[in-house]
Amino acid sequence: MKTETSAVDIDRNKGNFSYDVAHAYDAGTGLSEKTIHYISDVKEDPDWVREFRLKALKTFLEKPMPTHWASKDLEAIDFDKIRYYLSGGTQAKRTWEEVPEDVKRTFERLGIPEQERKFLAGVEAQFDSEAVYSNIKKAVGEQGVIFVGSTEGLKNHPDIFRKWFGKVIPIGDNKFSALNSAVFSGGSFIYVPPGVKVKHPLQAYFRINAENFGQFERTLIICDEGSELTYMEGCTAPKFNTATLHSAVVELIALKGAKLQYITVQNWSENVFNLVTKRGIAHEDAEVKWIDCNIGSRLTMKYPGVIMKGRKARGEVLSIALANNGQHQDTGAKMIHAADETTSNIISKSISVGTGRATYRGLVNVPKHLKNCKNNTECDALLINSTSRTDTYPAITVRGTGNAVQHEASVSQVSAEQIFYMQQRGLTEAQAMSLSVNGFVNDLVRQFPMEYSVELKRLIELEMEGSVG
């Protein structure tokens, strides 16, 4: 594997380091009402949030693990051994210089300040539980765009925050959304005023630095009527010996005519349980698009969804999952049609390498009373080795007349002849593999913003390099 990398790329080894950081606030291990009160006290939560958390804790404890349909591996999570809140303080810094030296080191090594200078309209960096740095370019801020950590959003913009918070994904949606609702901290809060088109993407960077830690960020994005936004998130964690938990909740609201694009490139180390709930609501003529790239982690369960609430709303999920040795990528999409003339599109590509396993779960629902709704689903799986595994569970319910649905699925394998052919042209086996894999995802990656498609290509190369001979 590579040991040296340039500053702006994010690769697995790049994230594989940790520094000892003294945390001023530490909720200790285990989860109880005491933990909730500790978090609420530190964060100076208003009463309604404290109550929301306590209610969520109850729901979390009541709900069984979803192992009747999902992986039994979930049982390996020991909730009593996890640390639920760690921070150096709740105030995010506005200039890079103010960020504490030990934390700054981490992000500089990951290339965050460079990224910001290069092409972002704003960046937020979260270190364990809280945002440590949050900055939005002046011009964008002057347009009335709010981009802060969720703790600050709750404090300084309570009206907008409370109006939308927990509305797209209720506490009891699933066990892990309940867990997040109980102990959430950090994540982004974004509001884009009517008609404002944010030209450059906003980005958040999530970093787990402590062992046995659970990161529970909560992101809430509201695009007001006719506005446009692209948001990108990246995640890393070092390789610890024990499992680490990442359980985020992301809620998106696109009001009439708004366009919201949410891009994730995840590159977790291989012992992270990544159990994330992501959903958006698209009002009339609005569009919510998820671009989701899942690389790394021990188990990822994530099914970004769009509820098309208004007429002519559009929902889209483009996802790529790469399951390497010992990893399970259980991903997919949910499309809920709730108005006439709504259209949704799902394109999912997965690659299984070695003993890796990729699972696609799709839910498409078009009720009887709707007219002229359309869904297109394509899911393609690529198997690299004979030990690789892929499963597809599409659940498509389309009722009524005048609605159209189209579903295509394929499973292919990189053949020995194909690899030999490429080797005969001078490519090593690993190069040949990564070229095949990149070819497989190519038509999808072409739709990604340039910076991310380049990064993704590199990540795939690194994964394939490590998987051959």
Q: Which is nearer to another protein, 138 or 425 (CB)?
A: 425
CB 11 within 8 A of CB 5: yes
User: Binding pattern to another protein, positions 368-407, x when CB under 8 A?
Assistant: ----------------------------------------
User: Binding pattern to another protein, positions 429-458, x when CB under 8 A?
Assistant: x-xx--xx-xxxxxx---------------
Q: Which residues share a beta bridge with 316?
A: 289, 345
Nearest distance in Å: CB 348, another protein: 15
Q: Which is nearer to another protein, 91 or 431 (CB)?
A: 431
Q: Which is nearer to another protein, 334 or 349 (CB)?
A: 349
CB 301 within 8 A of CB 70: yes
User: Binding pattern to another protein, positions 402-421, x when CB under 8 A?
Assistant: ----------x--xxxx-xx
Q: Which is nearer to another protein, 41 or 443 (CB)?
A: 443
Does 290 interact with another protein (rule: CB under 8 A)? no
Nearest distance in Å: CB 1, another protein: 16
Nearest distance in Å: CB 417, another protein: 5
Nearest distance in Å: CB 415, another protein: 7
Residue among 75, 80, 425, 450 that touches another protein (CB under 8 A) = 425
Q: Which is nearer to another protein, 75 or 417 (CB)?
A: 417
* Residues 6 or more apart whose Cβ sits within 8 Å of residue 392: 359, 360, 379, 381, 409
Residue among 39, 183, 192, 422 that touches another protein (CB under 8 A) = 422
Q: Which residue type sits at 11?
A: D
Nearest distance in Å: CB 110, another protein: 25
Residues forming the site for another protein (CB under 8 A): 412, 415-418, 420-429, 431-432, 435-436, 438-443
